[in-house]
């Protein structure tokens, strides 16, 4: 927060800057008041967003399990989708309060690994940069460059919404569910990403402030949106494909995009690792919840003996 000279490993000294918009340190009561107001304003939006997410839980969990989808109809399906999204968002937002011993052990291991990566962020990033043209691994970097747009919501959402609309129009419940799960997982994780980025304020590598520069304005290195999204995509598609070769391929592509985010100096290695774990966890929870709702859609059809109520999956 204060100006000081720091020496980064293998790099020239830089000056750690004051927060943007603050031209001098507070020296009096008025300056301190302005300084406090600046930061209360900065942190207010993410705090309100977090409170909003938490407040969804009582309302969402007050509903019963949404259950199987209703009989096909645009209005009823819209209501059902809204109920599912509300319930799932509340459930995921309050998941830390229901953590099991096994889950705590897994997340403890992930956080410990993240800490080790964090302590070596710059060394790992330098190694990734140096390997970009290395024989035998260059293809992996090129794979990440090719699939990098798949981790960008601004690029992909129009395709997901288009796929959702087309699959619903042609009556493919399976495809509708897949596109819906991708969009839901992206939006739920996206809410958390925005809140965390606003509070964390970690500087990106290309900004030259080092791996330990936090609390900056408009700094969005942590978490990595690309890493969250691409690992969610791999998780959901692998679940529905249910083929080992597809799962290996999907996560290989996701990992290559994560490496691309480091080699392009958009994120630190620890940003990518923890974001991938977060995205995967949200996607797995969405899948688990939707499997619990389960059941085929009821279908009314005509027979020689009159109308009949049955159930069917549409593909």
Rounded to 5°, the CA angle 107-111-114 comes to: 140
Give the pLDDT score at 282.
95
Give the pLDDT score at 71.
84
Phi and psi angles of residue 302, each rounded to the nearest 5 degrees, phi first: -95, 140
| DSSP letter (8 states) at residue 296 | P
Tell me the three-class secondary structure of 18-67, residue by residue: CCCCCCCCCCCHHHHHHHHHHHHHHHHHHHHHHHHHHHHHHHHHHCCCCC
Q: Which domain holds residue 162?
A: 4-312
pTM of the full structure: 0.79
Give the pLDDT score at 34.
47
> 142 is written with which tokens?
């090129």
- The three-state secondary structure class of 16 is strand
- For residues 29 and 35, is the Cβ–Cβ distance under 8 A? no
Query: How far is it, in rounded angstroms, from Cα 97 to Cα 217?
Result: 30
Give the pLDDT score at 30.
54
Query: How far is it, in rounded angstroms, from Cα 218 to Cα 223?
Result: 13
pLDDT by 10s per residue, the chain, length 315: 333 344 444 444 444 444 444 444 445 555 554 444 444 455 555 555 555 555 555 555 555 678 788 888 889 999 999 989 988 988 898 888 888 999 999 999 999 999 999 999 999 999 999 999 998 899 999 999 999 999 999 999 999 999 999 999 999 989 999 999 999 999 999 999 998 998 899 999 999 999 999 989 889 999 999 999 999 999 999 999 999 999 999 999 999 999 999 999 999 999 999 999 999 999 999 999 999 886 545 444 444 555 444 433 333
- By residue count, the chain amounts to 315
- For residues 61 and 90, is the Cβ–Cβ distance under 8 A? yes
Give the pLDDT score at 229.
97
Q: How many domains does the chain have?
A: 1
Phi and psi angles of residue 14, each rounded to the nearest 5 degrees, phi first: -130, 170
Query: How far is it, in rounded angstroms, from Cα 81 to Cα 183?
Result: 11
Give the pLDDT score at 24.
45
Q: Where are the beta strands (DSSP E) in the chain?
A: 4-6, 14-16, 297-303, 306-312
Tokens 């956080």 belong to residue: 111
Burial class (CB in 10 A: 0-12, 13-18, 19+), 225: buried
110: Cα separation from own chain's centroid: 16
Give the pLDDT score at 312.
38
What's the farthest any 2 CA atoms get from each other in the chain? 88
Give the pLDDT score at 293.
85
**Could you tell me which of 240, 234, 249 has the C-alpha nearest to residue 279?**
234
């Amino acid at each position: 927060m204060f100006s000081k000279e720091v020496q980064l490993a293998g790099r020239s000294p830089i000056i750690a800057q004051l927060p943007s918009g603050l031209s001098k340190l507070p020296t009096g009561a008025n300056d301190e008041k302005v300084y406090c107001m600046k930061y209360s304003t900065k942190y207010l939006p993410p705090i309100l967003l977090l409170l909003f997410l938490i407040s969804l839980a009582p309302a969402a969990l007050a509903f019963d399990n949404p259950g199987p989808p209703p009989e096909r109809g645009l209005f009823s399906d819209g209501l059902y989708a809204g109920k599912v999204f509300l319930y799932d968002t509340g459930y995921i937002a309050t998941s830390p309060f229901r953590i099991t011993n096994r889950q705590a052990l897994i997340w403890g291991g992930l956080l410990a690994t993240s800490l080790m990566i964090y302590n070596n962020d710059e060394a790992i990033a330098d190694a990734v940069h140096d390997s970009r043209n290395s024989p035998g691994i260059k293809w992996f970097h090129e794979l990440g460059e090719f699939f990098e747009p798949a981790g960008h919501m601004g690029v992909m959402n129009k395709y997901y919404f288009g796929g959702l609309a087309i699959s619903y129009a042609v009556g493919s419940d399976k495809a509708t569910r897949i596109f819906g799960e991708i969009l839901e997982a992206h939006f739920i994780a996206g809410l958390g990403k925005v809140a965390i980025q606003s509070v964390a304020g970690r500087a990106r590598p290309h900004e030259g402030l080092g791996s330990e520069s936090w609390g900056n304005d408009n700094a969005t290195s942590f978490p990595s949106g690309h890493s969250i999204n691409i690992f969610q995509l791999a998780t959901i598609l692998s679940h529905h494909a249910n083929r080992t070769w597809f799962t290996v391929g999907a996560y290989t592509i996701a990992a290559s995009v994560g490496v691309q985010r480091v080699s392009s100096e958009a994120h630190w290695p620890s940003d990518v690792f923890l974001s991938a774990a977060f995205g995967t966890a949200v996607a797995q929870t969405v899948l688990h919840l939707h499997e619990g709702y389960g059941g085929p859609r009821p279908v009314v059809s005509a027979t020689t003996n009159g109308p009949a109520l049955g159930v069917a999956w549409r593909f």
